[in-house]
Amino acid sequence: MTTKTIGFFLFDDAEELDFVGPFEVFSMLSEAAKKLGHTNRNKVVLMSQSGSDITGAKGMRVGINCAIADAPGLDVLCIPGGNGTRREIRNPEVLSWVANTAAAATWVTSVCTGSFILAAAGLTENKNLTTHWAAIDEFGTLGLKGNVLRNVRYVRDGNIVTSAGVSAGIDMGLWLTGQMHSIKLARATQKAMEYDPAPPYSADV
Amino acid sequence: MTTKTIGFFLFDDAEELDFVGPFEVFSMLSEAAKKLGHTNRNKVVLMSQSGSDITGAKGMRVGINCAIADAPGLDVLCIPGGNGTRREIRNPEVLSWVANTAAAATWVTSVCTGSFILAAAGLTENKNLTTHWAAIDEFGTLGLKGNVLRNVRYVRDGNIVTSAGVSAGIDMGLWLTGQMHSIKLARATQKAMEYDPAPPYSADV
């Protein structure tokens, strides 16, 4: 039995799809593995600083399982983006917890401007990373440290995996599933989510 | 000012990404339009039968804005899938509300096995639709009426738009944004979500 524990650090004004994308991937792994007779499972935990429910950037209220002080040991830490990251990068208790938790985790991941929090916690200096395309300049303006790459869905540098904006967390979650479990189970998870995307328009504005 | 009201009917064991995908699309439209100086907005409402919060199929607790009895007038009704749909297709109060709400809405949409609820409410007889690939046989076994299409992300028949499984609701939401607002704003929404998907593995198992 391979069980991985994946913890999401959530906060007010976290972007909903940033965390629900990989949440769905990591949760679906267990279902897909079970159907194939594999014993791989993920346990997914939603955490906030106080343990109180949070309200996302687009207004969705989301239930929280525990306070960060009560977090279980994590194989994966995942931090979403959203406007709330600009508050959390100035929150010493959160940054200290992120730094300590990252030191003990096998993988440290972010989606969108969640990488701002990893950077503010001192985890990305001299490392390659990415973030939402519209936030790349701001990363530098804020004095955060790291080499931000453009036009890539996710970047792995050591055990840190940062994703581009919002929807890119789905791609990152599937990639990490292949690393943590197996390519076969990542494919089965992708199929269970019917993730065969076909954007109806080009994204050019 | 063009404001569209979009209501999600949620229930216990609704699949999280089924509704958060299009929720993110419809919510992001307002932000993308604002940045471009357009007055288009979406108002997004999360509803459940009683008005109580729901717990999704993968265990996420989600806050609800109102009971279906208190729903505002809707331009779009959106119904996600998930295991809970097998309970809701036998829930007369819900089916009656869905039928009445659909009759007054401009667009009636579903993701994944949400189409089971539309069918049980009598909305899909002699119509083309789709659902999750793994649920196509079950649709027939349950005696639901409609012509289920395979291998397509979403199907539009009249004002009914049904999506394939889980992640397909994102594509459907973007398509509908182009229909309701403009192609330009759909593209801007897609770019704001950085929806330039790149699944890391093939989905073949």
Q: How high is the ipTM of this complex?
A: 0.96
Asked if A188 lies within 8 A of B205 by C-beta distance, the reply is yes
Averaged pLDDT for residues A169-195: 97
Q: Residue B204 has what pLDDT? A: 66
Phi then psi for residue A50, to 5 deg, are -95, -15
Asked if B187 lies within 8 A of A175 by C-beta distance, the reply is no
Task: Report the C-alpha gap between A35 and A31 in whole angstroms.
Answer: 6
Q: Residue A1 has what pLDDT? A: 73
Q: Which residue of A has its CA nearest to B172?
A: A200
Task: Report the C-alpha gap between A79 and A109 in whole angstroms.
Answer: 6
Q: In what order do the strands lie in the sheet with B160-163?
A: B66-67, B41-48, B3-9, B76-79, B107-110, B160-163, B154-157
Smallest CA–CA separation between A181 and chain B, in Å? Answer: 13
Asked if B203 lies within 8 A of A187 by C-beta distance, the reply is yes
Q: Residue B1 has what pLDDT? A: 73
CA A125, A127, A129: angle at the middle one, nearest 5?
110
Tell me which residues of B are annotated as active site: 112
A202 — pLDDT class (breaks 50, 70, 90): confident
Q: Residue B117 has what pLDDT? A: 98
pTM value surpassing 0.90: yes
Q: Which residues of A touch B178 (CB under 8 A)?
A: 200-201
Smallest CA–CA separation between B185 and chain A, in Å? Answer: 8
Closest by Cα among B25, B54, B62 to B168: B25
CA B41, A25, B164: angle at the middle one, nearest 5?
60
Give the residue extent of every domain in chain A. 3-192
Averaged pLDDT for residues A70-89: 98
pLDDT above 60 for A3? yes
Q: Which residues of A touch B204 (CB under 8 A)?
A: 187, 191
For the question of residue A66 being annotated catalytic, the response is no
Q: Which residues of B touch A164 (CB under 8 A)?
A: 194
Q: Residue A144 has what pLDDT? A: 98
| Active-site position among A112, A118, A174, A188 | A112
pLDDT above 60 for B157? yes
| B179, containing H or E segment | helix B168-180
| Residues contacting residue B83 through CB under 8 Å, at least 6 positions apart | B13, B15, B57
Smallest CA–CA separation between A23 and chain B, in Å? Answer: 9
CATH 3.40.50.880 fits B3-192, yes or no: yes
